[in-house]
Amino acid sequence: MTKTKLYIILFFLGLGLQQSYSQNYKFKTSGFSVLEKNEKGKWGKWSDLDLVNILISLDTNKDRIVIYSQIIQLFEIIDYQATEENDTDIVYSFTCKDNNGEDCTVSIITRKKQDNRKQLYVNYENRIIVYNIFNM
């Protein structure tokens, strides 16, 4: 088990998301927004926040993240990146391939100065999807 994977597991266990023997973590969303690059390759503006109630599952046993939106988004975890922490955020990132074979990075960010609000970012080369999430 890699050191990074161990830290991620300990973090989620510390939050009390699941029983101590489980490595399947569940979140619910409250909204999402999208940011896309324009024709010139520059980032546009975030879309308006759409209110949604979607289940998200992080399964470290199967090395996958699933977003149960209208079209199910499946992300195979290729690599567990090192945890990053600063004064404002704690970031857990995963190098992934989606169900279309496209490379992306999925990150779970805890906003320390915003009452530990959590967000899940799906970062592609030309677009970013952000979900506001909370523990189940």
pLDDT per position as a tens digit, 55-82: 999 999 999 999 999 999 999 999 999 9
% of the chain with per-residue pLDDT over 70: 84
The reported pTM is 0.81
pLDDT at res. 136: 84
pLDDT per position as a tens digit, 15-41: 554 444 448 899 999 999 999 999 899
Give the DSSP letter string of the chain: --HHHHHHHHHHHHTT-S-TT--EEEEEEEEEEEEEB-TTS-B--PPPPBP---EEEEETTTTEEEE-SSS-EEEEEEEEPPPEE-SSEEEEEEEEEETTS-EEEEEEEEETTTTTEEEEEEE-SSEEEEEEEEE-
